[in-house]
Structure 1
Amino acid sequence: MVASPAADDGPVVSESGACAPEVRHPITLGSPEFVAAPQAHCTWLRTHAPVYRGRIDSALVDQDVWIVSRYADCKSLLTDDRFPRSPAGGPAIAEGMPDHLRLLSESMIYKDSHEHRRLRRLVAKPFTPRAIERLGRRVSELAHGLLDELESREVVDLRSEFALPVPMTVISEMVGVDEADRERFHRGIQGLLSGMGESEREVDHDEGAALAEFVRELIERRRRAPGDDLLTGLIQAEEQGERLADDELAAMVFTLVTAGYETTYNLITNAVVALLDHPDQLALLRADPALMGSAVEEAVRYLGPVQSSEALTAAEDVTWHGRTIPAGSLVLPLLAAANHDPAVFAAPETFDITRGPNHHLGFGHGEHFCLGANLARMEARVALDALLRRNPGLALAVDREQLALEAVPMLVRYRSLPVHLG
């Protein structure tokens, strides 16, 4: 039975004391109602139902899901062996997905314990601090090159014309996609990531399937002609005599693309929105660029691009806060709620780039902590630094109310971000 508010709950009130929009039940991740007022829903969940049976509803996934919303509970859940990512039979969230998306179930993000550690060690080398530092120079070059092209424009869609091309190019170069194949690769990525919204019921998976085919072609190409790129390194890598199988290789590329590209460009976009929404914080950052690292961390906490970790599955019946989660159920730690938990963060609805400590869960926790977190942080820092240094008059080119979020479960993704660079 779906949890519902008690009869005497009354209207939802935000932590600032203001009356929030009505919360409709069952709470459905990705629904227009949730997207329109995520923190109102998060507040209700933390206050009234810290373990709640809701739904995740999109063109790809339509399932009941247990939602955990308090910071301490989310952090505990992410290291609890009773909630694996891939129980016997594979991750529950993969059921019903098309073949090219089911391939992701071979990725390390859906593996546990030894298998996860084996795959993570094989792919970790390009994400060391030294490797990330070397990539920083390339990111700066890309960011300034894009701004050179855009500076004469009256209006720029910062999302698609700046925030997106930076990580897209970086991940293409890391994987070893030749210049001639970039358009095909990028088109496939867009197909893979499109159609996730609640309203997009008729989804054409041809582009996503084409990406899977291209990745397999690329693997064979790199076997025959190795290059100085991540994919070649993965093909050649060994861990105690073990190598990646073809499905594991393809799944690893899919994972790097979806995590390293989708998350990063939305982080850059969302950080700009947060700064423009808070001109005092933008002025503070301009006055002291050394706060850029802290500003990026606060953007991850306040308006992070990912609202939840990957889905977990209850391996046994678990009773928590008076609710019994049946074995086999899909469970999501709602990181967006945890990162606004007043039990951990003072004034959680305040965007404060000097916040410290800032132990947000935006990149997860435990053994599945995001491998690409430092790459995403670096790309956001470098891109935002170039943007703000060169554009002292940066401003929205539309009314704030016209910025629309896409109805996508577990992601915070603006449709566009029209600005005057100034």
Structure 2
Amino acid sequence: MSTPVHDTPFVIDGPEFLADPHRHYDRLRREAPVAIGGMSVLPGQQIHFLARYADCVALTTDPRFRRVAPDGTPPALPEALRLLAVDSMILKDDPEHHRLRRLVSRPFTPAAVGRLAERVHAVTGDLLDGFVAGRPVDLQRDYAIPIPVTVISEMVGLGHDERAIFHEGMRLLVDGLSALGMDEAVRRMEDLTGFVRELVARRRATPGEDIMSGLVRASDDGDRLTDDEIVALVFLLVGAGYETTYNLIGNGVLALLRHPDQLALLVRRPELIDTAVEEILRWTGTVGGTKPTYAAEEVEWHGVRIPRGAMVMPLLASANRDPAVFDRPEEFDITRSPNPHIAFSRGAHFCLGANLARMEARIAIGNLLARFPGTRLAVDPADLATEPTPLMVRLRGLPVVPA
């Protein structure tokens, strides 16, 4: 067996890598399809990164790789962190993962998703009513973020007076540990956990038409979700459905503004919004990787020995620009077809909220351009900044001028 071909171990969320990730992805695909590196948020943890499309797809269905580390003992954590970091469905393996996914998918009926789509149309309309042609706005803060906040709030059946509390909870789950420190973040997360438990109890007593009520009612031959499982799922909805979606909207608008020919094409042919969103998912790398996977046994991949218990991570953003699969992979083309990107991963852990995210992005971007087709950036593109977030593209702001 050989060792990975890479000059030195790299930090995938380090400044050098983040300055131009696709240059590094290109090199990894060519020279080190299995590369050893790390993340600053996981100090001392060695990670085997897969850079090629075929390998990333294969990993998602290979039974030699699992979400739970072999012989791993779950760490002793405060309840709130346990629900977030251990009990989440996306960190489970079959058969437990299959059971949870089967139950969780039941409330996401076409009628329920249709009601959410109606609300996204209404919310985007209200937000756009507040825009004034020629007056700059931060599209990330004033448009992209409020949309998933509303969707998730309605999924869990919040009253209007509870939404501000829950929005703070969303921000806590996304940024809490890094912004507040462990002790304060845990204290606030315990408060949030209590708040969500109260919501679950309320839905059990008085179910409504929201998706949380559907989770409470979901049953398969008498098997039902426990309160802990529902709370963990709400945390998952926030982490995946809030941050990922507002980043997708913001990154998508920015991609179009930086490609005026594609923007003009979409304005002229709004029916292209479906393929445009698929290309945004492929090209922007909004989500660059999945949750960690572990080798359940020793594996040799491209001549590289991956020890049992080693952490392995597929680089979805690299796979989605693999020239072995995509013609002109570096070009942003909203008419691209076919477009077999894996922005939502593949296999058993394919993103449960993929259709929701697509729906929100289609409506948000489509309605923005229908109302303000001449929208332009309010700053030089070089002045835009992203957060140093591992395997995720998150703008710090998106100043635009609606027109």
Same fold (TM over 0.5): yes
* Residue type of the alignment partner of 2:82: R
Give the whole-Å Cα distance in 2 for the aligned partners of 1:130 and 1:395.
36
Aligned twin of 2:61 = 79
Number of residue-to-residue matches in the alignment: 399
Structure 1 residue 286 corresponds to structure 2 residue 267 = yes
Aligned twin of 2:303 = 322
The 1:95/1:407 distance shift into structure 2, 3 A limit, reads farther
Give the whole-Å Cα distance in 2 for the aligned partners of 1:181 and 1:28.
40
Aligned twin of 1:27 = 10
Aligned twin of 1:9 = none
Give the CA deviation at 1:89: 5.7
* Residue type of the alignment partner of 1:208: M
Structure 1 residue 67 corresponds to structure 2 residue 49 = yes
Match of 2:83 among 103, 117, 138: 103
Match of 2:329 among 348, 367, 387: 348
The 1:325/1:99 distance shift into structure 2, 3 A limit, reads farther
Give the CA deviation at 1:342: 0.4
Aligned twin of 1:21 = none
Aligned twin of 1:133 = 114
Match of 1:232 among 190, 205, 213: 213
* Residue type of the alignment partner of 1:75: V
Cα contact 1:176–1:230 (8 A) shared by 2: yes
The 1:164/1:397 distance shift into structure 2, 3 A limit, reads same
Q: TM-score, normalised by structure 2?
A: 0.93
Give the whole-Å Cα distance in 2 for the aligned partners of 1:50 and 1:201.
37
The 1:305/1:47 distance shift into structure 2, 3 A limit, reads same
The 1:255/1:350 distance shift into structure 2, 3 A limit, reads same
RMSD across aligned positions (CA): 2.2
Give the CA deviation at 1:3: 4.7
1:372-416: CA deviation from partner (whole Å, max 9, x where unpaired): 111111110011111001112201111111111110112111111
Structure 1 residue 400 corresponds to structure 2 residue 381 = yes
Give the whole-Å Cα distance in 1 for the aligned partners of 2:252 and 2:133.
23
* Residue type of the alignment partner of 1:44: R
Give the whole-Å Cα distance in 2 for the aligned partners of 1:288 and 1:228.
36
Give the whole-Å Cα distance in 1 for the aligned partners of 2:169 and 2:261.
40
Aligned twin of 2:25 = 42
Give the CA deviation at 1:95: 5.6
Give the CA deviation at 1:151: 2.6
* Residue type of the alignment partner of 2:197: R
Note the residue ranges of structure 2 that are not aligned, 5 or more in a row.
none
Note the residue ranges of structure 1 that are not aligned, 5 or more in a row.
7-24
Cα contact 2:197–2:231 (8 A) shared by 1: yes
Report percent identity of matched pairs: 51
The 1:153/1:393 distance shift into structure 2, 3 A limit, reads closer
The 1:145/1:114 distance shift into structure 2, 3 A limit, reads same
